[in-house]
Copies of this chain bind each other. A is one copy, B any other.
Amino acid sequence: MPSTELHEIKADFTQGLSQISQFWGLPKSMGAIFAVLYLSPNALSLDEIVAETTFTKGAISTSVRTLARMGLVHRQTKLGDRKDYYLAEDDFYKVVRSILKGRESSEFSRAIDSVGQTLVDLQASPNQVRGADEQRGADEQRGAEWDFAENRVAEMKSFFDNLDNLVRVITALETMNQNTVQKVIGLLKK
């Protein structure tokens, strides 16, 4: 059982990546697919992936396509061969940047934008609302609450903008590798 042992180790590795995958809210199949591709020296066809996993063709088909969209795998086609072959990306820093780029289009940035919209809503009608009601007790309280909310939302937006800048710089990098991270670590330790 020498060769079976390699299969067992591969299976463990595949299961580990599956768990990581679902920890990040992604289908387990995506982790499994990436695992088998990552350990395969040559590109694999869809049916070969099916053979090495516990999933059906339909599931593999959809999952491998979203993996390709994320930049985690690459589709190859050999000429004279109707099959598609898939290869794992092995530069994880590339993957990180690819994922960060995809963040724009996602549901996430739409939600972020809604925070910005909340701020302009609060900043609009600056006195009109706050001074309209002349009963001063209620008026003062409402005004204070309004100001408080405006300040808080402004702070949150500033935080998000800062993060957005960071992401933008990262995605704009020509290259990114271990050394890049090392330099950041050095800066932070100082």
Using CB atoms and an 8 Å cutoff, list the residues of chain A in contact with chain B: 2-3, 5-6, 9-10, 12-13, 15-17, 19-20, 23-25, 38-39, 41, 90, 92-93, 106-108, 110-112, 114-115, 117-118, 121-122, 125, 129, 132-133, 142, 144-146, 148-149, 152-153, 155-156, 158-159, 162-163, 165-166, 169-170, 173, 178, 180-185, 187-189
Contact = CB atoms under 8 A, between A and B. Distances in A.
Contacts of A165: 181, 185
B16 A115 contact: yes
Contacts of A108: 20, 23
A107 B16 CA distance: 11
A170 B188 contact: yes
A184 B184 contact: yes
A107 B187 contact: no
Q: Which of A13, A146, A158 has the most CB of B within 10 A?
A: A13
A135 to B, nearest CB: 11
Contact of A121 (B9, B24, B106, B188): B9
Contacts of A184: 166, 184, 187-188
